[in-house]
Structure 1
Amino acid sequence: MARLRTARLARSAKPFLARGGPRGERCPGCRLVPSHCVCSLHPVVPTRAGVCLLMADIEPLKPSNTGWLIADVVPDTLAFGWARTEVDPALLALLADPQWQPYVVFPGEFVAPERVVTEVACADASAAKRPLFILLDATWPEARKMFRKSPYLDRFPVLSLQPEQISRYQLRRSRRDDHFCTAEVAGLCLDLAGEPQAAQVLQTYLDVFTHHYLQAKHQLPPDWQGEAHQRLAQALGRTARA
């Protein structure tokens, strides 16, 4: 993620200015202002599943991007920039690695029925292959374009999520409640892969990050003993910071 951000900044003709977020210096680790940094809370949960993020052009630059949170929690998270005309050879090597069974995570209503699955066949620890969830980290219009114009993904099953919950993500607006942010999608995938603790930690870490981001935006201190922090500490078996 940091590599992608550095490379994207190097290509920029002018500084990237995030809209609507907190201003000023930011922590290079969590992209929050230093007074609201969450790096001390950085949770890591060993998982059998992996995540592959295909990121639209400016996503690595957005402080509100939640792909970073997935990379914090899930050790085997790899991120690649997406371009219509070229493919990173490292991405193709990852997709060809025999240890992984890739799943493209995308709504089934837009896909040929024969490609759609709703369960993760290799969720069992005894399965020969580990699940690798390919997430298109982009706005919805960008994600649809990425899906259509990435023929190297065509040979993989499409995991269509059927979540009953409503998105709680507050940092960007969507016209539909069933449009989830990238971290929420990853959490649902981890649940299907038989990784409930990692799913819970990722969701509560997202809630903590959202709290710190919004508090910084409104120039208010974070509540280190708040409900989100307590849930994250409980999920990790820790004590919330005083």
Structure 2
Amino acid sequence: MPRRTRIPDLSQRCPACFFRPEDCLCPACLPPVETRTRLLVLRHVSERLRPTNTARWAALALAGARLLDYGARDALLDEAPLAEPGTCVLWPGGAPLAEPPRQVVVVDASWSQARRMLQRIPALQSLPRLSLPGPPPGSLRLREPPVAGGMSTIEAIARALDLLGEPDAAARLDRIHALSVERGLRLRMGPDYARLARAG
């Protein structure tokens, strides 16, 4: 019998960033940053209500970024946005691109879900791939990556933008990620966080 996903109580959270009002990330995300590269985040539906979903914050912070949910029951994915000229997918193992992409598709899911999405969405399989160097050493995260060198979605988008020559947008996302980790740990650990911060 499949395990049910626990839906968190979000009634006392900001409806945009899912943090408590006193820890709201929206001031750090707004106004959105303009980028040459368009971002299309293809998010597995199981991530939609996770308070730690970082794609939500990236979409708030980047002007023109689109967020599409995949995997909802009886909901078909519109693959037309994936076929736009100059589109690539952010995925390991890609060859160097001949020219900078106009649009980068980012798969937002667990690694096992992301692999299945790549297998089940024909439009993704045909896209050229943009690969990234590893994450900065010692980065704190709200969720531990299941693979060596893994990154959260917002970190991966920041590294992609930096690689494509948009360091200001990358720096904004890095700042939002750092704030989210700090505030998320404080929310999760309660009084223990203050003691840990003093010890550090």
The whole-number CA distance in structure 2 between the counterparts of 1:86 and 1:65 is 21
Matched residue, 1:16: 7
Equivalent residues in 2 for 1:72-87, closer than 5 Å: 72-83=60-71, 87=76
Distance 1:200 1:36, change over 3 A: same
Equivalent residues in 2 for 1:88-127, closer than 5 Å: 88-89=77-78, 92-98=79-85, 101-108=86-93, 116-119=94-97, 121-122=99-100
Classify the secondary structure of the residue corresponding to 2:185: helix
Distance 1:162 1:38, change over 3 A: closer
The answer to whether the aligner puts 1:56 opposite 2:56 as a matched pair is no
- Compute the displacement of 1:164 (Å): 5.7
- Compute the displacement of 1:36 (Å): 1.4
Matched residue, 1:165: 136
Q: 1:32 aligns with which of 9, 19, 25?
A: 19
Q: Kindly, what percent of the aligned residue pairs are identical?
A: 27
Matched residue, 2:197: none
> Structure 1 length as normaliser, TM-score?
0.69
Q: 2:123 aligns with which of 142, 146, 152?
A: 152
The answer to whether the aligner puts 1:139 opposite 2:110 as a matched pair is yes
Classify the secondary structure of the residue corresponding to 2:48: helix
Classify the secondary structure of the residue corresponding to 1:55: strand
5+ residue gaps in structure 1?
1-12, 109-115, 123-129, 224-242
The answer to whether the aligner puts 1:67 opposite 2:55 as a matched pair is yes
Distance 1:121 1:29, change over 3 A: same
Deviations 1:15-45 (A, max 9, x none): 7127xxxx87211121011221222232421
Letter in structure 1 aligned against 2:51: P
Q: Is the 8 A contact 2:25 2:176 kept in 1?
A: no
